[in-house]
Structure 1
Amino acid sequence: MSAAQIELHPGAHVHVQREGGRPELWKVLKRKRKGWLVQLGDQDAVTWSDDHIHDLRLNHAVELYAADPEADEHVAYCLSKAFEAFPEDLKTIALRRAEYVREVDDWHGAGETLEESYVWAALHVFEAFEGEWREEDVAYAAALAERRRQRQRKAATELKRQKKGQPLVVPKPRTVELWYRTWITHDRDIRVLLPDFRGRGDRTQRYAQWIYVEMRAHIEKYYLVKDRRRPPLTYAYGKFEGHCRGKGLDADKPRKKGEPRPYPTYAAFRTFKNGLLDAREEMQVREGGRKAYLTFNVFRKTGPLAKVMAEVEFDHSLVDLIVVDEQTGRAIGRPWFTAALDRASRMLIGCHLSFEVPSYAALQRCMGHAFWPKDLRGIEGLSNPWPCEGIPQFAFVDNGKEFRSKSLRRSETAMNFRIRPLPVMAPWLKGKLERLFGRFNAQVYAHREGKTFHSAVARGDYNSIKRAETTLPQLRRDLLDYVVDDYHVTRHRTLEARPLDVWNDLVARNGGIRAVPSHSQIIELIGQVRERPIGNTGIHLEGLNFHSDRLTALRERRGGRQKLYQVRFDPFDLWRIWVLDEETGEHIPVDCTNQAIARNVSIFAAGLHLQQARSSGAGRFVTEQDILLAKQRVEEESDRILGHGGSVTTAAKVARYRYPNGDYFTPVGPRNAGQPDPAKHAPAAERAPAEAAPVAPETPSGPAPTAAAPSASSLHESLTEDLDALMDEWSRA
């Protein structure tokens, strides 16, 4: 079956791009029987059949041109772009010229000669469209003037006389003939009727060369600089103008008519700057490559995930609610909420609520609650399950210290998941969890007395501290009810389903989740990590001594006395540590030799006890007895602050020390799995002082001298200073 004949004419060109070859431009010479005679450059002419041309078009290897696209520079430029890409004024002129050439085509098709058609088209088209075209010109000029006024920020009366555009006159028949011949030669393509205005205007250099050099130098020195103050371009122009005045150039001096300005205006200065760099390059120099990358790049939107726990977001949020003490009722401050969200199902897989500031301790409790199964059997009033558990594949985090800590890296290796740090100052990359925090604020915190606001203007006369009435256990229960019986079972707008149903469906579809080991290994897997040597008396950590006979075998090995061993511990209970034996891969449990200063004591509290003991010891060696006395004094002072004295800020810091911040959001395992029963921290008013167990002094001599007990005011001041110091440094791993 023969292919259809393609309409060509002598002088047309065919651009051919063969696979793996160079592009070729063939010229059409004449029609042959069932084909065309074509020629490539100065080579001999060959005949292409209609079938061969058809095959080239099917392979998308040929492009047809009505004339030689390289013969005329302006024509080649016009044919290289789409008609819609040209400015509006040029397109308007081309459309008006098209009316003339189409009229010529109609007259010539009716039997008139081309010469007569040129004359009649020039007159008739102008008479028919003159009124319409003049209205278009007036509207276009007004729009240009308005844009110019807005750009210059001037009133309409301050504008100079509007620039005159191309006059609207009757074209000469010779002009219409040129338009028509160009249009016909190029297969009636309207783009060849576009006017060539690219070479218009005075393009000679107006000023001396040194002025252009100085403009560039001032722009690079005062504008294209990476400065957080981001100096405006007017600052650089002011420096440039001062430099020109110093050279004796005065723009305010009267000038003769037609005499140029001695140095460029600010508008010309800005135009010169725009010619140096494009918008992206300018932002990259002034604000950094990351800002330019995020501003100008177009990113592909990811599709929905097909597996739960494939991507999990972790983050902290300061609760927008002030809580009060259970016993005294005084305002304590705002707790922190650490959460983990599954991106595929939008389920909140784990969280932690306490006065623990963002640190690995809070993150460890959140991970334990997220990875291990949640036991809701002892919690009454819940109507739905919370089935989330398992090890994620990727954990997306920000750049907080706890997310860059050695402890998290070791936990990543032990649990076999990957940490994906996100760029700084990019909260939208964890937008799903950020939106959930906003939802908590709108639907949980905002309905409670003591809520805080995003600004002092929004808060008005509302006193959040005096109106506060919610305790930490009440807030924890409110959040639990909302998460389990509201958020998880409410239709999600993006998923178009309930998060709980999506979770169950994806788990069933993918054959389950990657489960974690038993709860007894929770500290060995995700406990906080420090590296410590083994000394003659064991391992020392924040003033506490840990001893086991099994440490001797580690120390006896070659280099064992100088080696730093990986030590894992519960950041909220230092009664025991786990030392890694790298040869056997076993974690050796090592108990603290003095449980009175270690049981139910967090790493933060242990550091505070050690600082207090050192500050009251007058530079002498600190013993375990000193730490025990310091612990008793700090507990008494913290009880006093929570009960009566101290600001809300101080109370929040003390609550980090005194409150049971290590409690999981919900039970995740038996309390005696791998650790003793943690004694519940009673409220401040009902706590009995810890019973001091007999402590052997660390020095071989007699009992250490006891320092005089500090006064209440000095103890309060010292405690506050130590709290501030530890708050600044304790987020390290």
Structure 2
Amino acid sequence: MGDIVSLGGADDGVRLVEFERAIPGRPATSRRPAGPRILRFSEIPSGAQVFLTDSEIAFLQKEGRFRFELLNEDPDRPRRERPTNLGLTEEESRYADCHLDYVVACYGMPGGYKKSRPKLRPIIKEVAERRGEKPPSPSTVMRQVEKWLVGGDVLGKAALIRKRRYANTQQPWAPKLLAAMRSCTYRALLLPKGSASDVLALLRIWADENYPDGNVALPSLRTMERELAKVDKYIKDYLRKGGGKAGRANAAYYERPLPALPMEEVEVDHTTFDVQLIDDQSDIVFGRPDVITIRCRRTGMVLGLGIGWEMPSFASFIEAVRHAMYEKDLSAFPSVKTGWPCRGRWRRMFVDNAMHFLGVSIAHAANELRFEVVELRPGEPWMKGAQERLFGILNSRVAHAVPGTTLSNTAERREHEEALEPPALTLREFEAFLVTYICDEHHWAPHTGLGPLRTLPDVPIRLWRQEIGKVKIRDLPHPDTFASLAGDVDHRTVQHYGIDWDYIRYQSDELIPILTHPKHKPGKGKHKGTLYRVTRDPKDLSRIWVFDPYRKLSIEVPAVRQDYAAGLTQHQHAVIIAHHLRTVRQFVDIDGLLRTRGQMLVEIERLRKRRNVQGIERKLARFLGQQKAKRIRSRVTPANDSATASAEPLDIEDPSFVKAPEVRSPQASNLNRRMRENPERVRQVEAEPGRPPKKIARMPKKDAAQAAVKAPPSTSSSDLDAIRNTNSDWDDV
């Protein structure tokens, strides 16, 4: 009673039950036979009752669905696990084998086994002499025979081992202190170099906060070291390095079965090669190339690759897909001897989360190109370990062997820093090395994991030639599909000289229908022209596609400078343009230009100041003249009621009796003109044709009445007596 047994198997589930008691079977009568004995079990942890007969237990035990898990040999001690032959230590196995010889010899006694020390001693002595060891006591042998009778039928020799001793499970510390020790241990593991001394220091702070009187005995440093050593490795990695690192470091690896045919499953990944590349025509350093490869999982063949200069983008991914699907043109690589026979469309592509172009774009491309995308779970590089291994081989065989390599890590680079050569490999040379190695060496070398078992090697080209005939190659997509998927889209105007895009000019006769269309606007000044959708391939800037909205078709427009743009990538063009502008800035003395510009501005400012001063003086003179005219017009004079004066012509030199006409600019607004009620008009004398006008006598300047009211003479006169007579109130000094 109290033994724990497991019922069932992997197909129907395993249930743990505890034996409670045996129910005797009904006795036999004259009418019916005796009933079987029933054993009652209680399921853990639900407590449901399970009833089994001896025959049912025997049937389950034969199928391996009735197993002892824990035995309750001593009710006062905790139940212990029932060992089996596979769960024995080497020491326990030697002990059981030794005593099994004595047990078998006792069972072979004449007349059967008898519990008699005199009869057992000669048998024990004979076995000990045969084994060459000291004979055990008869009591020990009889005790082992008893164990064999009880559990030998089920457990075999595992029933003869000693009872396993268990350490004292009772903790010497209070539960609250144990919880604090565990908490401080986890807090110390959060530190990058947390140790047992840190745990003890944190525990000291906890004791001071919770027990200010200090009546707490803390464990020793050795105890903290043992507690720290008990922490599971996953928990240590999780606290120190995060859940992702803990999962990758402690996860189990599983191999995936290979597909049945080539082109059924492929895997794609990228890596940045450890080499610096330069331009083919100049010394411009483009940087480290990022290579994307597509590999067939069944044969190990590299179907295609794409070379980019930035971190993996959707454009470089599409370039690799295009290269993998179509026939390879190896005319630029005459050193390749064996060719590259891979082409076609696959069914399923495996990608991981390290590919930064995952998302809506790749899903849309998969729908158009008609293949399925399977995203592997993050942190599981073994799911495509062959692809990772391929990158390691390419880096070590190609990148690390050419000049300009940067090696794989900083420590290794520091050791070889003096021996490393400057970048000297161009993009074309690097691509030639890469293609030659893939075609002539990688495809023809045996690789582990391609055989009928994953541990057996095989040759990729052999598998491809043997099994590709079983695959039906589907029709491939139109080349324009790739340009539309990975193309860089913008809107540009179409002019008579063509289209400018990032300093590259594109021109074609096909643009004439757009230029001559009635709805086309070329744009002039502040008026913008008509914008048209243009698309270019980031991997080849030698041409663009312009969508004609009037004819509803796409026009291919080549670059004017094909010697520069043919085969040029967008990243290369950007690096070349940036290098050129930087060179121009370095050649031009920017500070000198700024000084020259500043001196010009200072001189212009000085001239503007002088001109402004002259203008102010002219404005001041004009203002004073206007004020004088205003003063003359506003002067009050007596009315001219003399008939003699009225009969005479106007005195032009002294127009005292006639108001001067107002002079205004012809650009002045009429609303600003001063309105005069009765302006005096000047009579005009018209001469008869052929006859001069008559001479009219001039009237006297002033009459007697006007002379009487004439103003006194000016004080500027030098006659002192006249001035004194005029001012009679002055005092003599």
Shorter chain as normaliser: what TM range? Answer: 0.5 to 0.7
Q: Which residue number in structure 1 is paired with residue 150 of structure 2?
A: 185
Out of 392, 397, 411, which is 1:438 matched to? 392
How much does 1:336 deviate? Answer: 3.5
CA 1:329 to 1:248, structure 2 compared with 1: closer, same or farther past 3 Å?
Answer: same
Is 1:362 the counterpart of 2:321? The answer is no
Out of 465, 475, 483, which is 2:438 matched to? 483
How much does 1:501 deviate? Answer: 3.2
Matches within 5 A, 1:297-376: 297-327=251-281, 333-353=287-307, 355-376=309-330
CA 1:543 to 1:443, structure 2 compared with 1: closer, same or farther past 3 Å?
Answer: closer
Is 1:60 the counterpart of 2:74? The answer is no
Q: Which has the larger radius of gyration?
A: 2
Amino acid at match of 2:83: K
Q: Which residue number in structure 2 is paired with residue 527 of structure 1?
A: 486
Give the count of matched residue pairs.
535
Counterpart contact for 1:338–1:352, Cα < 8 Å: yes
Amino acid at match of 1:307: L
Q: Which residue number in structure 1 is paired with residue 463 of structure 2?
A: 502
Amino acid at match of 1:484: C
Q: Which residue number in structure 2 is paired with residue 39 of structure 1?
A: 37
How much does 1:350 deviate? Answer: 1.4
How much does 1:516 deviate? Answer: 1.8
Matches within 5 A, 1:459-478: 459=416, 461-465=418-422, 468-478=423-433
Counterpart contact for 1:122–1:172, Cα < 8 Å: no
Distance 1:79 1:406 in 2: 55
How much does 1:451 deviate? Answer: 3.8
Amino acid at match of 1:509: K
Distance 2:117 2:213 in 1: 61
CA 1:74 to 1:474, structure 2 compared with 1: closer, same or farther past 3 Å?
Answer: farther
Matches within 5 A, 1:248-327: 262-269=217-224, 271-272=226-227, 278-280=232-234, 283-284=237-238, 287-327=241-281
Counterpart contact for 2:268–2:295, Cα < 8 Å: yes
Question: Which range is displaced more, 431-440 or 286-295?
Answer: 286-295
Amino acid at match of 2:63: H
Distance 1:445 1:603 in 2: 23
Q: Which residue number in structure 2 is paired with residue 196 of structure 1?
A: 163
CA 1:313 to 1:459, structure 2 compared with 1: closer, same or farther past 3 Å?
Answer: farther
How much does 1:498 deviate? Answer: 3.7
Matches within 5 A, 1:149-228: 173=139, 177-187=142-152, 189-198=156-165, 201=168, 203-223=169-189, 225=190
Distance 2:85 2:78 in 1: 13
CA 1:429 to 1:506, structure 2 compared with 1: closer, same or farther past 3 Å?
Answer: same
Counterpart contact for 2:548–2:554, Cα < 8 Å: no
Out of 195, 203, 208, which is 1:240 matched to? 203
Distance 1:28 1:580 in 2: 96
SS of the residue aligned with 2:346? coil
SS of the residue aligned with 2:303? strand
Counterpart contact for 1:315–1:397, Cα < 8 Å: yes
Amino acid at match of 1:475: F
Distance 1:130 1:714 in 2: 105
Q: Which residue number in structure 2 is paired with residue 571 of structure 1?
A: 538
TM-score normalised according to structure 1 size: 0.56
Counterpart contact for 1:567–1:579, Cα < 8 Å: yes
Provide the alpha-carbon RMSD of the alignment. Answer: 6.0
1:468-516: CA deviation from partner (whole Å, max 9, x where unpaired): 5433322322333332333333444543554233223322112x22332
SS of the residue aligned with 1:114? coil
Counterpart contact for 2:542–2:559, Cα < 8 Å: no
Q: Return the structure number with greater relative CO, CA threshold 8 A, min gap 6.
A: 1
Out of 554, 558, 565, which is 1:589 matched to? 554
Counterpart contact for 2:151–2:159, Cα < 8 Å: yes
CA 1:193 to 1:508, structure 2 compared with 1: closer, same or farther past 3 Å?
Answer: same
Counterpart contact for 2:405–2:420, Cα < 8 Å: no
How much does 1:82 deviate? Answer: 1.0
Distance 2:314 2:61 in 1: 63
- Identical residues among aligned pairs (%): 18
1:419-463: CA deviation from partner (whole Å, max 9, x where unpaired): 334455655444323323333334334543444434135525313
CA 1:497 to 1:122, structure 2 compared with 1: closer, same or farther past 3 Å?
Answer: closer
Distance 1:36 1:286 in 2: 67
1:606-646: CA deviation from partner (whole Å, max 9, x where unpaired): 9899xxxxxxxxxxxxxxxxxxxxx7xx57436779xxx99
SS of the residue aligned with 1:419? strand
CA 1:78 to 1:336, structure 2 compared with 1: closer, same or farther past 3 Å?
Answer: closer
CA 1:588 to 1:36, structure 2 compared with 1: closer, same or farther past 3 Å?
Answer: farther
How much does 1:212 deviate? Answer: 1.6
Distance 2:177 2:66 in 1: 48
Out of 556, 567, 581, which is 1:637 matched to? 581
Matches within 5 A, 1:125-140: none
Distance 1:639 1:516 in 2: 46
Amino acid at match of 2:150: T
CA 1:385 to 1:244, structure 2 compared with 1: closer, same or farther past 3 Å?
Answer: same
CA 1:93 to 1:319, structure 2 compared with 1: closer, same or farther past 3 Å?
Answer: closer
Q: Which residue number in structure 2 is paired with residue 727 of structure 1?
A: none
CA 1:90 to 1:374, structure 2 compared with 1: closer, same or farther past 3 Å?
Answer: closer
How much does 1:346 deviate? Answer: 1.7
Amino acid at match of 1:361: A
How much does 1:523 deviate? Answer: 0.9
CA 1:187 to 1:502, structure 2 compared with 1: closer, same or farther past 3 Å?
Answer: closer
How much does 1:132 deviate? Answer: 5.6
Distance 1:415 1:587 in 2: 24
How much does 1:369 deviate? Answer: 1.4
How much does 1:99 deviate? Answer: 5.7
Counterpart contact for 2:186–2:239, Cα < 8 Å: no
Distance 2:123 2:224 in 1: 44
Counterpart contact for 1:337–1:354, Cα < 8 Å: yes
Unpaired stretches in structure 2, ≥5 consecutive residues: 42-52, 451-456, 521-531, 595-733
Q: Which residue number in structure 1 is paired with residue 618 of structure 2?
A: none
CA 1:170 to 1:500, structure 2 compared with 1: closer, same or farther past 3 Å?
Answer: closer
Amino acid at match of 2:425: T
How much does 1:76 deviate? Answer: 12
Distance 1:714 1:427 in 2: 57
Unpaired stretches in structure 1, ≥5 consecutive residues: 1-13, 134-168, 252-260, 554-564, 610-630, 647-708, 716-733
SS of the residue aligned with 1:441? helix
SS of the residue aligned with 1:589? strand
Distance 2:361 2:486 in 1: 7
How much does 1:60 deviate? Answer: 3.0
Counterpart contact for 1:104–1:121, Cα < 8 Å: no
CA 1:389 to 1:543, structure 2 compared with 1: closer, same or farther past 3 Å?
Answer: same
Q: Which residue number in structure 2 is paired with residue 83 of structure 1?
A: 85
Q: Which residue number in structure 2 is paired with residue 513 of structure 1?
A: 473
Distance 1:545 1:324 in 2: 25
TM-score normalised according to structure 2 size: 0.56
Amino acid at match of 2:149: I
SS of the residue aligned with 1:384? coil
Distance 1:131 1:332 in 2: 79
How much does 1:333 deviate? Answer: 4.6
SS of the residue aligned with 1:207? coil
CA 1:363 to 1:425, structure 2 compared with 1: closer, same or farther past 3 Å?
Answer: same
Counterpart contact for 2:196–2:221, Cα < 8 Å: no
